[in-house]
Chains A and B, each alone.
Chain A
């Protein structure tokens, strides 16, 4: 199949305006008769459901948690980007676009990324109108902070709980539409298949997680907003339930999966403390604004952090990347931490950690605060106290969380951090309209591949989720549904629904019938180890080939030896997990296959065979300037399709943060 990204004509800056001016519209009377299924109520799904319902469509929204407000988006901490240029520091739509392309190491699609930057300002307006309590300055206007990979302050935030506040805004808009009867909400439901009729997505099979019953739902279109697949690494910063299942089922029904190997490892997470560990906790990137990262200059130094004098500390990011210092992009910061730890300079009991130190920020803020309070002869104690106050204001909840988990006080001793799986740039292939290659099947938010190339900028996922949901899909879905106004709802006793439900049922029966020896977590942990060691921050040919074999073997063992207690017809968390891990076991192979195929380093994808002399990632534009879009064949075989990337505006350069 030919991949057509459907990029509109015209200069980059005019494309979206042109598109909106020419796309087909659906009149209000017809909208009432059109039904849309939305899977997921995170930022992407909740904003899409609310906006589509407002337009008049009939929406059915699904999530597996007990309430739409609990989607994984709630956990985002640091902030959301927008090219408002409120700080007058040189920001613009173009600069946000360019920073995103560059951070993505030129493996994103220009037109999509430009549109994202273009609508970013509207998102902030919309959120404020919905009552999102962003941080403000004393003058009453919105505050900003900076994030990695850029040199302007364009990140809006609500202390360390930006995701929660944005999601509650979208959730409230969603609930308003539920009250108006325009959205029907299905919580504790898991989508387990897409139903395709005559080449078009026409519905889903979902499992009611409380009763275990399978349900059939029709829709004129199906929108997936089901989040990322970072949990393929088992340990990640994602919520426990985050999974690939919805995307994977769509993939198995023909939707291409793009750039699965582009997975982001976040540099600042609380390190692993033991085998019992079930997840890793992020310490927001915003901390790198004020925290300085260092390790001892001396190998294997076992002194406490506070006993290591200033001149014996290696602020390696500031040393290696003087222009960006601690604010280099995530992939660069993660690899640099791994490099130091692998070389024997790591700290903490496991030696797999580096310090993130706030001592100098406390002094800096303390002095500024003293100055502002007209205390001219402030003593050290006062300065420290005022400085700590300022830090609490900015990052209080993160410091608290760190202390709860580690029992160490980060106001007094530096945090220990290490990289962890965090976000996935890869996902379902979509065109400019966010439609997959399956007609009427859309993918929004983290579950699609579109705007971030090979590495996402901090604070841009929230932006993308809300851009897709509030401002893109309301237009683009109309362009498709305008052609569907004569399609009557298809009764769910159609053979395609029978067939899909039968397949889902058979898979559930098969899982329940295994009654093997090991728990689902046992397999998930084993998969995570393979993926992290051979397909994580650093990859090479041999390791990837081994990973593919090992994942296959593990998958086989899973289908023989997994033990799922209980029955199908009840709330059964183990069965839910088993279905998700079964899908991860298929995805894991594709991820490694994609990484093996891409014999270049770009962004977060680091192939040891493709590096510059000083160890930086080396792209190969001649051979790999494309999106890899994988089609699934029988028996977990995959065929590669390439969407060439053409750049009209940006010039491909080797990224340089020095």
Chain B
């Protein structure tokens, strides 16, 4: 099939950026969206033009690196799918596709479709862990965990930190990302001792980074390639409230 692509080009962080239009021919149904970009880039290189910069690594939907805003949706039209796992069979011949970077203040554009998501690392630094040094652990089966609890924690832990939730949110809130971690660790017995300070510190850091606050719109859940549920936000909010009443754990 033949496609028209409107792609956001931005030289660097200072540049204002603009859309550029490209024609791509010979696109096969079995190609992934990124492979279609490979074809376009190969063409641009041969023509002596600057290829489009975009983040990617695993191309298996798990590293969270790819991050294209396709036709007004993070990761494109397919529910529960990252850009790298989106295949061209979901588009049709002659279609025009618009591709932009994540648009969110706390994710400044570095170049073209590449943004800086360092804010997520800093939120994790603020408390997205259990404080246990190497060598301190007891036997793994000494802490039985109900299967339902374990499954719930696992569901929260599948977040790949791609930032689609932020890109989808009209308030640019990072609450789905933050709540998934708070919820995972609050659920598990190992995570309980630090649950209060974790909730307070991570949410505080989210504010510091300039993410907006959550007003329960739910776009994040729709956009999440791992289908992380918005119920985690409710759980994190309740963790946060309990923590602010009780004060941080000592």
Contact of A136 with B42 at beta-carbon distance under 8 Å, contacts A276-B28, A574-B51 already known: no
Contact of A131 with B185 at beta-carbon distance under 8 Å, contacts A67-B161, A142-B141, A277-B35 already known: yes
Q: Is A159 interfacial (CB-CB < 8 Å)?
A: yes
Task: Provide the residues of chain B in CB contact with A571, threshold 8 Å.
Answer: 12, 53, 110-111, 114
Docked pose: A400 CA to B34 CA in angstroms: 19
Contact of A65 with B65 at beta-carbon distance under 8 Å, contacts A274-B28, A276-B38 already known: yes
Contact of A135 with B118 at beta-carbon distance under 8 Å, contacts A130-B130, A239-B59 already known: no
For B191, the closest partner residue in chain A by CB is A131
Docked pose: A70 CA to B162 CA in angstroms: 10
Q: How far is the CB of A41 from chain B (nearest CB, A)?
A: 11
Docked pose: A277 CA to B39 CA in angstroms: 10
Are the C-beta atoms of A74 and B124 separated by less than 8 Å? no
Q: Is B190 interfacial (CB-CB < 8 Å)?
A: yes
Q: Is A373 interfacial (CB-CB < 8 Å)?
A: no
Are the C-beta atoms of B121 and A124 separated by less than 8 Å? no
Task: Provide the residues of chain A in CB contact with B93, threshold 8 Å.
Answer: none
User: What is the size category of the interface that chain A forms with chain B?
Assistant: 35 or more
For B150, the closest partner residue in chain A by CB is A136
Chain A, range 36-54, C-beta contacts under 8 Å to B: 47, 50-51, 54
Are the C-beta atoms of A168 and B157 separated by less than 8 Å? yes
Task: Provide the residues of chain B in CB contact with A135, threshold 8 Å.
Answer: 150, 154
Q: Is A241 interfacial (CB-CB < 8 Å)?
A: yes
Q: Is B207 interfacial (CB-CB < 8 Å)?
A: no
Which of A131, A274, A566 has most chain B Cβ within 10 Å?
A131
Task: Provide the residues of chain B in CB contact with A573, threshold 8 Å.
Answer: 51, 53
Q: Is B145 interfacial (CB-CB < 8 Å)?
A: yes
Task: Provide the residues of chain B in CB contact with A136, threshold 8 Å.
Answer: 145-147, 150
Task: Provide the residues of chain B in CB contact with A130, threshold 8 Å.
Answer: 129-130, 132, 190
Q: Is A514 interfacial (CB-CB < 8 Å)?
A: no
Chain B, range 75-125, C-beta contacts under 8 Å to A: 80-81, 85, 87, 89, 110-111, 114, 116-118, 120-121, 124-125
Docked pose: A273 CA to B150 CA in angstroms: 38
Are the C-beta atoms of B134 and A126 separated by less than 8 Å? yes
Are the C-beta atoms of A75 and B60 separated by less than 8 Å? yes
Are the C-beta atoms of B134 and A65 separated by less than 8 Å? no
Contact of A172 with B129 at beta-carbon distance under 8 Å, contacts A135-B150, A574-B45 already known: yes
Are the C-beta atoms of A173 and B129 separated by less than 8 Å? yes
Are the C-beta atoms of A133 and B60 separated by less than 8 Å? no
Are the C-beta atoms of A404 and B85 separated by less than 8 Å? yes
Q: Is A25 interfacial (CB-CB < 8 Å)?
A: no
Are the C-beta atoms of A565 and B45 separated by less than 8 Å? yes
Q: Is A259 interfacial (CB-CB < 8 Å)?
A: no
Q: Is A140 interfacial (CB-CB < 8 Å)?
A: yes
Contact of A133 with B121 at beta-carbon distance under 8 Å, contacts A138-B147, A176-B129, A566-B50 already known: no
Contact of A125 with B137 at beta-carbon distance under 8 Å, contacts A74-B63, A137-B147 already known: yes
Task: Provide the residues of chain B in CB contact with A125, threshold 8 Å.
Answer: 137-140
For A158, the closest partner residue in chain B by CB is B154
Are the C-beta atoms of A70 and B45 separated by less than 8 Å? no
Docked pose: A281 CA to B150 CA in angstroms: 28
Q: How far is the CB of B143 from chain A (nearest CB, A)?
A: 7
Chain A, range 202-251, C-beta contacts under 8 Å to B: 210, 239-241
Q: How far is the CB of B72 from chain A (nearest CB, A)?
A: 21
Q: Which of B87, B130, B158, B161 contacts A161 (CB 8 A)?
A: B158
Task: Provide the residues of chain A in CB contact with B134, threshold 8 Å.
Answer: 47, 50-51, 54, 126, 173, 470-471, 474
Chain A, range 131-163, C-beta contacts under 8 Å to B: 131, 133-142, 158-159, 161, 163
Q: How far is the CB of A177 from chain B (nearest CB, A)?
A: 9
Q: Is A66 interfacial (CB-CB < 8 Å)?
A: yes
Q: Is A447 interfacial (CB-CB < 8 Å)?
A: no
Task: Provide the residues of chain A in CB contact with B61, threshold 8 Å.
Answer: 401, 404
Are the C-beta atoms of B140 and A124 separated by less than 8 Å? yes
Q: How far is the CB of A523 from chain B (nearest CB, A)?
A: 12
Q: Is A175 interfacial (CB-CB < 8 Å)?
A: yes
For B112, the closest partner residue in chain A by CB is A571
Are the C-beta atoms of A139 and B125 separated by less than 8 Å? no
Are the C-beta atoms of B50 and A68 separated by less than 8 Å? no
Q: How far is the CB of A288 from chain B (nearest CB, A)?
A: 19
Docked pose: A172 CA to B185 CA in angstroms: 11
Task: Provide the residues of chain B in CB contact with A572, threshold 8 Å.
Answer: 53
Docked pose: A142 CA to B142 CA in angstroms: 10
Docked pose: A202 CA to B83 CA in angstroms: 41
Docked pose: A401 CA to B60 CA in angstroms: 8
Q: Is A278 interfacial (CB-CB < 8 Å)?
A: yes
Are the C-beta atoms of B57 and A70 separated by less than 8 Å? yes
Are the C-beta atoms of B51 and A129 separated by less than 8 Å? no
Are the C-beta atoms of A70 and B114 separated by less than 8 Å? no
Number of interface residues of B (CB under 8 A): 78
Are the C-beta atoms of A133 and B154 separated by less than 8 Å? yes
Are the C-beta atoms of B125 and A178 separated by less than 8 Å? yes
Are the C-beta atoms of A279 and B59 separated by less than 8 Å? yes
Chain A, range 160-174, C-beta contacts under 8 Å to B: 161, 163-165, 168, 171-173
Task: Provide the residues of chain A in CB contact with B150, threshold 8 Å.
Answer: 133-136, 140
Task: Provide the residues of chain A in CB contact with B212, threshold 8 Å.
Answer: none
Task: Provide the residues of chain A in CB contact with B57, threshold 8 Å.
Answer: 65, 70, 72, 239-241
Are the C-beta atoms of A126 and B137 separated by less than 8 Å? yes
Are the C-beta atoms of A133 and B157 separated by less than 8 Å? yes
Q: Is A189 interfacial (CB-CB < 8 Å)?
A: no
Chain A, range 100-145, C-beta contacts under 8 Å to B: 122, 124-131, 133-142
Task: Provide the residues of chain A in CB contact with B12, threshold 8 Å.
Answer: 570-571
Task: Provide the residues of chain A in CB contact with B117, threshold 8 Å.
Answer: 66-67
Q: Is A649 interfacial (CB-CB < 8 Å)?
A: no
Q: How far is the CB of A570 from chain B (nearest CB, A)?
A: 7
Q: Which of A137, A164, A175 contacts B129 (CB 8 A)?
A: A175
Contact of A276 with B59 at beta-carbon distance under 8 Å, contacts A128-B137, A140-B145, A405-B87 already known: no
Are the C-beta atoms of A128 and B143 separated by less than 8 Å? yes
Docked pose: A580 CA to B129 CA in angstroms: 34
Task: Provide the residues of chain A in CB contact with B56, threshold 8 Å.
Answer: 240
For A521, the closest partner residue in chain B by CB is B42
Q: Is A86 interfacial (CB-CB < 8 Å)?
A: yes
Task: Provide the residues of chain B in CB contact with A241, threshold 8 Å.
Answer: 57
Task: Provide the residues of chain A in CB contact with B129, threshold 8 Å.
Answer: 130-131, 172-173, 175-176
Are the C-beta atoms of B184 and A521 separated by less than 8 Å? no
Task: Provide the residues of chain A in CB contact with B125, threshold 8 Å.
Answer: 175-176, 178-179
Q: Is B126 interfacial (CB-CB < 8 Å)?
A: yes
Task: Provide the residues of chain B in CB contact with A134, threshold 8 Å.
Answer: 140, 150
Q: How far is the CB of A59 from chain B (nearest CB, A)?
A: 13
Contact of A70 with B153 at beta-carbon distance under 8 Å, contacts A54-B133, A565-B45, A570-B111 already known: no
Task: Provide the residues of chain A in CB contact with B110, threshold 8 Å.
Answer: 210, 571
Are the C-beta atoms of B118 and A240 separated by less than 8 Å? no
Q: How far is the CB of A159 from chain B (nearest CB, A)?
A: 7
Are the C-beta atoms of B140 and A128 separated by less than 8 Å? yes
Q: Which of A173, A179, A276 contacts B31 (CB 8 A)?
A: A276
Contact of A407 with B51 at beta-carbon distance under 8 Å, contacts A129-B137, A133-B157 already known: no
Q: Is A292 interfacial (CB-CB < 8 Å)?
A: no
For B45, the closest partner residue in chain A by CB is A519
Q: Is A604 interfacial (CB-CB < 8 Å)?
A: no
Q: Is B5 interfacial (CB-CB < 8 Å)?
A: no
For B59, the closest partner residue in chain A by CB is A279
For A165, the closest partner residue in chain B by CB is B157
What are 10 A-B contacts with C-beta separation under 8 Å?
A: A54-B133, A65-B57, A75-B58, A84-B141, A164-B158, A172-B124, A172-B130, A176-B129, A405-B87, A565-B44
> Which 5 A-B residue pairings sit nearest by Cβ, starting from the closest?
A140-B144, A172-B129, A129-B137, A125-B137, A133-B154
Known: A168-B157, A566-B50. 17 other contacts (CB 8 A): A54-B133, A66-B65, A66-B118, A70-B63, A70-B65, A124-B140, A133-B153, A140-B144, A164-B62, A165-B154, A173-B132, A282-B60, A404-B61, A471-B135, A519-B46, A565-B44, A571-B110
